[in-house]
Amino acid sequence: MSAEFLTLTSIYFLALLSPGQDFFLILRNALQYGYKTAWWNCIGIALGNAFYIVLAYVGHGLLVDYPFIIPLIEFGGALFLMYLGYMLINAPKPKLEQNSHDPKPSRYKLLSSGFFSALLNPKNALFYLSILFTIVSFETSLHIRIFYALWMIVLLLVWDMAVALFFGNTKALKLLPWLNPLQKIIGIFLALFGVKTLWKLWNL
């Protein structure tokens, strides 16, 4: 198992642990309608993220012909990871609003709301560009990069479905206050990784 794969998986898993808008969409529907209903959100979110992964890979491949741009993108990706870390460290305590009188949405609505939640979040595009340009080497073969893409999509889907399954009961609300400290810890790690990337670029 390569160091590149371990680094990619570690950073990606930290990002999955960070509660964002997708997380609270799943959490709300799991608590309100049950985990099986929220799973349709999870599938939509995975599809939205898959789109950005493919888009990031296309850009990653095209820039092989323009190597002078790569350090600039790596620099921007490192800054973004530091910014994301800063935002998580300073994020307010998460709140969950529920309305038990809302009718149960259709599968299509759940799927599309998950898809557009991921697609309309500009942080997703920047995040995938950041990790692919700061972690995955341009020398990495195509079949390995395809494996990375499939691995990230599967990991995201399994994680989101596990979140829906776990929070499919109201007892899980007791854990909500712990999400804010978790955000701050993850923010520190992401910011440190951004600093490490900048240090590596400085010493090239």
pLDDT band at 14 (very low <50, low <70, confident <90, very high): confident
Lowest mean pLDDT among 15-24, 61-70, 93-102, 183-192: 93-102
Query: Using CA atoms, how far apart are residues 194 and 100, in angstroms rounded to an integer?
Result: 42
Averaged pLDDT of the chain: 78
Q: Give the containing element (helix H, strand E) for 75.
A: helix 70-89
Number of domains in the chain: 1
Report residue 184 as tokens.
């701050």
Query: What's the domain range around 116?
Result: 3-202
The most confident of 104-113, 125-134, 191-200, by mean pLDDT = 104-113
Write out the E strands in the chain: none
Q: pLDDT value at position 172?
A: 64
Query: Using CA atoms, how far apart are residues 159 and 39, in angstroms rounded to an integer?
Result: 11
Q: pLDDT value at position 17?
A: 79
Average pLDDT over residues 33-59: 87
Residue 48 CB contacts under 8 Å (≥ 6 apart), including other chains: 114, 115, 116, 117, 118, 119, 124
Q: pLDDT value at position 42?
A: 95
Is residue 88 over pLDDT 80?
no
**Cβ burial 133-163 (10 Å sphere, 16+ → b, else e):** bbbbeeebeeeebeebbeebbeebbebbbeb
Average pLDDT over residues 164-177: 73
